[in-house]
């Protein structure tokens, strides 16, 4: 049976570089050269997960669950060669998933830009404007994190067609993402109303 030895890849980037301790974050790892094989593994400080080969410079893998917030080294190996093919490593930061408890105010006009105070827990600034308020699962707005339980964001403006929907459809879910990928497991509602000056 033939034996193949693969040159260890040198990884130079990973997106995102952080995710919740519950695991399940889909990360993309970039390297100088990945060999096309079904037997690539991502290793999170010793915990192995199967990787998906995308191209010679890109693979994807899913983060495993972790017991507590911590930064762990991540590297890549070819299963056949084990540690002989161990790549360089990059740190991955685990954090507690954020929770959203309340909004103040909880409503605003359809033209948007209502400044909202969001109360919850586990709000951590990951830098590079990664944290966002997500409205209705699709509209991302920048946030200012004040502390672990408070942040500010603004409501996005509705399109004309959205502003003509029935009142019940004007209630938008609000979630928080810290890494630009996973959203909080819970959400609260923000209720839009027509601009009283033109209603």
Q: Domains (ranges, CATH) in the chain?
A: 11-95 (2.60.40.10), 99-193 (2.60.40.10)
Q: How far apart are CA 56 and CA 58, in angstroms?
A: 6
Which pLDDT score is estimated for 38?
A: 77
Which pLDDT score is estimated for 167?
A: 72
Q: Which residue has the tokens 């034996």?
A: 3
Which tokens go with 99? 């929770």
Which tokens go with 51? 């990787």
CA count, 13 A, side-chain hemisphere, 91? 6
Consecutive sets of 10 residues in the chain, 199 residues long: mean pLDDT of each? 65 94 95 85 96 94 96 93 86 95 96 96 90 94 96 94 79 94 91 73
Q: How far apart are CA 48 and CA 10, in angstroms?
A: 18
Total number of residues shown for the chain: 199
Record the pTM. 0.83
Q: How far apart are CA 145 and CA 125, in angstroms?
A: 6
Q: How far apart are CA 38 and CA 182, in angstroms?
A: 27
Which pLDDT score is estimated for 6?
A: 56
Which tokens go with 74? 């991540």
Which pLDDT score is estimated for 199?
A: 47
Q: Residue 64 CA to chain centroid, in angstroms?
A: 14
Q: Which residue has the tokens 């991302």?
A: 140
């Amino acid at each position: 049976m033939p034996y193949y030895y693969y040159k260890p890849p040198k990884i130079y980037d990973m997106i995102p570089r952080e995710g919740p301790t519950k695991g399940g974050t889909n990360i993309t790892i970039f390297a100088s050269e990945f060999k096309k094989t079904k037997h690539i593994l991502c290793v999170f400080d010793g915990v192995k997960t199967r990787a998906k080969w995308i191209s010679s410079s890109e693979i994807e893998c899913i983060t495993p669950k972790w017991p507590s917030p911590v930064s762990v080294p991540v590297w890549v190996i070819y299963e056949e060669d084990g540690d002989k093919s161990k790549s360089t490593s990059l740190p991955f930061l685990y954090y507690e998933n954020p929770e959203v408890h309340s909004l103040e105010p909880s409503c605003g006009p359809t033209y948007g830009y209502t400044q909202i105070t969001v109360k919850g827990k586990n709000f951590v600034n990951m830098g590079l404007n990664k944290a966002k308020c997500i409205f209705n699962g699709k509209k991302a707005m920048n946030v200012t994190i004040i502390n672990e339980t408070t942040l500010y964001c603004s409501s996005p403006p509705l399109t004309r067609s959205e502003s003509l929907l029935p009142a019940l459809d004007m209630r938008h879910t609000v979630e928080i993402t810290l890494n630009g990928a996973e959203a909080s497991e819970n959400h609260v509602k923000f209720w839009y109303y027509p601009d009283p000056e033109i209603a």
